[in-house]
Amino acid sequence: MKITLDITSQDFDYLTSMQMRWAGTDWEQKEGRFELFDGSLHISGDQISYGWSFVHWVATYADYILVRAYLQSMPAHAYQAVFDGATDDIAILTDYAGSWSD
């Protein structure tokens, strides 16, 4: 079965529970906290990349599916999904900023 939805950037922001900068921070020092999520690596390689610009957390698998679909609809926005053992959430690593502002 296939379902077609229109997901907006505002929907993306509502689906994510938190967002932060990823690159240039101390996330790499917390390496054991994260593990690749369910084979969902959408870039080459099998390691967590600390070069992504942003991280967005989602609380449920349903939220992850919708956020993933939104990112996949934009060819310029690759991503990598990881499980965050500290929050028990799925974290999406990407260069997509969402509504982030400094």
pLDDT value at 43 more than 70 = no
What does the pLDDT average to over 43-56?
A: 81
User: Which pLDDT band, with edges at 50, 70 and 90, does 10 fall under?
Assistant: very high
Q: How far apart are CA 34 and CA 44, in angstroms?
A: 18
What local confidence, expressed as pLDDT, does residue 39 receive?
53
3-state SS string for the chain: CCCCCCCCHHHHHHHCCEEEECCCCCHHHHHHHEEEEEEEECCCCCCCCCCCCEEEEECCHHHHHHHHHHHHCCCCCCEEEEEECCCCEEEEEECCCCCCCC
* Mean pLDDT score across all residues of the chain: 87
